[in-house]
Amino acid sequence: MIKNSEYYTSSFFLSRGLFLGIGYKLMFNESGKSILFSSLLGMIIGIFLIKSIYNLSKFKDNLLLKYLKLFILIFILLTSILSITSYIISFYLFDSNFYLIIIPLFLLLIYSTGLKNNAEFKTANILIVLRILIFILVILGLLVNIKTKFFIFNIGNNYTNIIKSSLIFAFLTVAPYLTLTNYMNNISSKKVIINYIINALLVILLLALIISVLGIDLISLYRYPEYMALKKISILDFINNYENIFSIGYLLDNFMILIITLNYIKKNYKKPTVAFIILLLFLYLICFIKFNMKYVIISYNYLPYMIIIFLSIYLLFKYLSTRHQD
Amino acid sequence: MKKIIILILFIIPLCGCDFEELNNLGIVTGLYINYEAGNYETYVEIINDKVNEYKVLPVSYIYEGDGKTLGESINNIRNKINKDLYFNHLELLVLNYNVLYNDINVINDYLLRSPLISNHIVTLLTNSDISKIASSQSKNNNVTSSFIISLIKINKKINTLIPSDDYDFKIAELKSKKFTSIGSIEIGSENIYLDNTLIINDHEILLKLNNEDSIIYNSLINKSTITITFDGIELKAKLNSIEFDKDISAKYSLEVISNTKYDLDDVNSLNKITILFNEKMKLNIKNFIKKLQSNNIDLFSLKEKISSYKDYDFNIEVNSKITKKGELVS
C-alpha cells in the first residue's frame, strides 16, 4: 500500500508525462485555434473516464482484461520512451551517440524495477519538491512573457477535429492512472476526481501560456512548442536561456511514467514480463526509432490513438464483465 | 554491491559525450546573404578570440562562400577555416532584397531547423552591396554585427526604427502569409545607416515607411515610447491601450521633456497640451492608416471586421494625460 500523499504526487507526474512532444503537438495539429476549448472538453471527458476507472478498479481483472491492460501499458511506455529519447536527442545531446544516451536510461530503468517497498512512489514524493519548484518558475516565467494578442479561445466549427483533440487530451491525461488502480480505492472518489481536475487544469494552464507566449502561427512551425515557449522566457532582460533547466520538468514527468508503469507491470504480471517489456522498448528504439524517421512519425501519429482505442475497449469489457459478475 | 556495479557502468557512457573545445569554435555573430542568378553568396562574421600583446589583431573576420543552396555556401566557408562554425550566438541576419524576392523561407527554414542556432536574431533587409555591409566596420576595427546591433539599440531611444529580434515570430507571420515588418540597412558614401521599416508580405515589399510613419508604427504595433514635438513642447508618449474596431481609440500617457512656452503649473495649460497632442496624434494615425489602406495593407487584421477596408473612413479617437512634467517647477 502507498500513502495518500504518494498517490497525489505520482498523479502529478503521470497526468502530464505523455504530452511532451506528442500530446501537445497532436492536439495543436488536430484542433489549431480551438485547442483550449477542446482541452476543456477533454477534461470533462477525462472526469467520466477517471470516475469509471475508479468504480471499475474495485473489481478484479480476468485474464483477457489483464492482458488488454498490459497492451495499454506497453503503448504508454512506448509513447513515453519515444518522447523522452527524441527530446534528449533534439535539445540536450544532439551530437552524442544514440547508444550513449539510451544505455544509461535503460540501466536506470532496470535498476528502478529492482527496488522494493514501492520505491517509485517514494521517489515521486521526493522529486515533487523539485518538480513543483520548476513548475512555478515556468508558470511565472511564461506569465511575464505573454502577449495578450496571441491568447485565443476559439470554439471553431470543425467538430470532428475538436472531438479528436479532446479525446487525445482526456485519454493521455487519464491512461497513466491505470498504474494507480491498486491504490485508488483507499481514497474517496471525490478526492480522486478533484485530484484529476487539478492536474488537468495545470495541463490546460501550461497550454494556455504556451499559446499566449508563442501564438498559434509559431506553434504550427515548431515540433516542440513547449520547449520553444521556455526559450522565450526572459525576466528583466537578464534572466535568459534557462530553457534547458526548466525543461527538466518535462523529463521528470516522462521518467516517472516509465518507472511507475514498469514497476506496476513487475508487481502485477508474471516475473519475466517486465524484463521482456524492457527488452521490447530497447529493441523498439534501436530497430525503428534510431534508423528511420518514418517510424518516429508513425509512432507520433498513432501511439496516442492506440492508447485511446485499447483503453476504451478495456473499460467497455471491464464494465461488461462486472455486470456479468453482479 | 549491485548499486556500485550499476554506478560504475554509468560512468562508462557518461564520459563519452562529444564535445568541442571553445578554441575550436568559430563563433558567428553576423550572417550576410545575397542571392543572384541561382547562387547564394554568404558572408559570415566570426569573432576573433585570440589576443596578441605586440600586435593589434582584427576583432572579427569575414569569410565568404557561395553555392546553389545556403547549406552549400556555408559548407564552402567551412572549407576555408580551421574552426567549426557555431551559430548559437548569431545576432544579426542581413539579407539582400533578392533573397526576399526569391524565397526568404529557404533561409528561415535552414536557420530554424537546427537547435544550435539562436532564434533571437535581428533581421534586416538591404538593397546595397552585401559584401560592403559585411566588411564596413573592419577599417574601424569594430565587429560589424555588434556595431549594427548598437545602432539599433540607440535608435530605439530616438524611436525611429525598432527591428524586432523575435526572428521566429517574423517567420511565422511570413509563413502564414500575414503582413510583417522588417527593418532595413543601407550603405552611404562612407558609412552604413539604418533605413526605414519595410512592410512585406510573402515575397513582396509593399511599403517603405517614412520617419513619421515609422514612429506611429512603433507606437501602435511595438507599443514603444515615442517622442513628439509641437508648439514649443517636446513630449514622450507611451501607448497605454488601443482598441481596433470600426473606430480606433488610443490612450497615451505623456511625459514632458522640454517646454519653453506653457506654464505647467496651470491646469488649463496642461489641458491645452493634451488637446494639441490628441489632435496631432489623431492626424498622424489617420495618415498612417490611410497609407496602409491605399496599399491594401492590413496590419491590424481589420479586414475581418470591415468588408470595404480599403475605402473605409476610420473614426480615430486619441485620449491622453500628462503623468510627469520633470524636475522644474513649471
The predicted-structure confidence for A92-117, as pLDDT tens digits, reads as follows 887 778 888 888 889 889 988 888 88
* Whether residue B296 has pLDDT greater than 70: yes
Grid coordinates representing B11 are: 560512468
Overall residue count recorded for chain B in this entry: 330
Average pLDDT over chain B, rounded to an integer: 82
Neighbours of B321 (CB within 10 A): 12
The grid coordinates listed for A14 are 503521470
Distance (Å) from the C-alpha of residue A119 to the closest C-alpha of chain B?
15
pTM: predicted TM-score of the whole model, two decimal places = 0.83
User: Which range has highest mean pLDDT (A63-77, A153-167, B290-304)?
Assistant: A63-77
> Taking residues A272-300, what's their average pLDDT?
83
Using alpha carbons, select from B207, B217, B202 the residue that is nearest to residue B297. Answer: B207
The closest CB to that of A95, out of B18, B112, B168, belongs to: B18
Q: Which amino acid is at B77?
A: I
Q: Write the residue in B18, B116, B176 that is nearest to A217 by C-beta.
A: B176
Dist. CA A209–CA A135, nearest whole Å: 12
Query: Residue range A288-293: average pLDDT?
Result: 72
Other CB atoms within 10 Å distance of the CB of residue A1: 7
* Beta-carbon separation of A93 and B168 below 8 A: no
Closest CA relative to residue B273, chosen from B316, B315, B215, B330: B330
Contacts of B116 in chain A (CB under 8 A): 94
Q: Binning pLDDT at 50, 70 and 90, where does residue A177 land?
A: very high
Query: 3-class DSSP state for residue A101?
Result: helix
The most confident of A170-179, B18-27, B228-237, by mean pLDDT: A170-179
Smallest Cβ distance to A93: which of B9, B17, B172? Answer: B17
Kindly determine whether residue A215 and residue B172, on different chains, have CB atoms separated by under 8 Å. yes
**E strand or H helix at A306:** helix A293-325
Q: What is the mean pLDDT of residues B177-192?
A: 83
pLDDT at B158: 61
Q: Is the pLDDT of residue A289 over 80?
A: no
**For position A136, what pLDDT does the model report?**
92
Segment B272-296 shows an average pLDDT of 88
Task: Give the closest residue to B84 by CA, choosing from B29, B23, B43, B24.
Answer: B24
B56 pLDDT band (50/70/90 cuts)? low
| Over residues B149-166, mean pLDDT | 69
Q: Tell me how far the alpha carbon of residue B22 is from its chain's centroid.
A: 29
For residues A280 and A287, the answer to whether their CB atoms sit within 8 Å is: no
Residue A68 near residue A253, CB atoms below 8 Å? no
**Contacts with B18 from chain A: Cβ below 8 Å:** 95-97
Categorize the per-residue pLDDT at B138 as very low, low, confident or very high, splitting at 50, 70 and 90.
confident
Render pLDDT for B108-121 as a digit per residue (tens, 0 to 9). Answer: 788 878 777 777 78
User: Which residue on chain A is closest to B2 by alpha carbon?
Assistant: A111
Q: Residue type for A53, please?
A: I
The arithmetic mean of pLDDT across residues A129-137, rounded, is 92
* ipTM of predicted assembly, 2 dp: 0.73
A148 interface with B at CB cutoff 8 Å: no
Grid cell listed for A64: 483477457
DSSP 3-state assignment of A93? Answer: coil
Cell of B325: 512634467
- CB-CB: which of B14, B16, B169 is closest to A218? B169
Query: Which strand ranges, in their side-by-side order, compose the sheet holding B233-244?
Result: B226-230, B233-244, B247-259, B315-324
Checking DSSP bridges between strand B122-126 and strand B60-67, what pairing results, if any?
A: unpaired
C-alpha cell at A160: 470532428
CA B299 to chain centre: 17
Q: Summarize pLDDT for B14-48 with one digit per residue, the tens.
A: 655 556 677 778 888 899 999 988 899 999 998 87
R_g (Cα) of chain B, nearest Å: 25
- Encode pLDDT of A9-64 as tens digits: 999 999 888 888 888 888 888 888 888 999 999 999 999 999 999 998 888 888 88
Per-residue pLDDT band for A1 (boundaries 50, 70, 90) equals confident
What distance in Å separates the CA atoms of residue A263 and residue A73, rounded to the nearest whole number?
Answer: 11
Determine contact, residues B252/B263, Cβ cutoff 8 Å: no
Residue A258 pLDDT level (bands cut at 50, 70, 90):
very high
* Whether pLDDT at A231 is above 70: yes
Q: What is the mean pLDDT of chain A?
A: 88
Q: What is the structure's pLDDT at B164? A: 64
Grid coordinates standing for A107? 540501466
A229, A165 Cβ separation under 8 angstroms: no
Reported confidence tier of residue B199, pLDDT bands at 50, 70, 90: confident
CA A71 distance to own-chain centroid? 16
Residues A150-175, buried b or exposed e (16+ Cβ, 10 A)?
Answer: bebeeeeeeeebbbbbbbbbbbbbbb
Cell representation of residue A110:
532496470
Report yes or no: A312 at the B interface, CB cutoff 8 Å. Answer: no
Q: What band does B140 get if pLDDT is binned at 50, 70 and 90?
A: confident
CA–CA separation, B74 vs B86, rounded Å? Answer: 12
The proportion of chain B whose per-residue pLDDT surpasses 90, expressed as a percent, equals 4
SS (H, E, C) chain B: CHHHHHHHHHHHHHCCCCCCCHHHEEEEEEEEEEEECCEEEEEEEEECCCCCCCCCCCCEEEEEEEECCHHHHHHHHHCCCCCEEECCCCCEEEEEHHHHHHHHHHHHHHHHHCCCCCCECEEEEECCCHHHHHCCCHHHCCCHHHHHHHHHHHHHHCCCCCCCCEHHHHHHHHHCCCCEEEEEEEECCCCEEEEEEEEEECCEEEEECCHHHHHHHHHHCCCCCEEEEECCEEEEEEEEEEEECCEEEEEEEEEEEEECCCCCCCHHHHHHHHHHHHHHHHHHHHHHHHHHHHCCCCCCCCCCCCCCHHHCCCEEEEEEEEEECCCCCC
- Taking only the tens place, the pLDDT of each residue in B62-111 is 899 999 988 899 899 988 888 888 888 888 889 898 888 887 778 878 88
Cβ of B16 and A111 within 8 Å? no
Q: Contacts of residue A114 in chain B, CB cutoff 8 Å?
A: 2
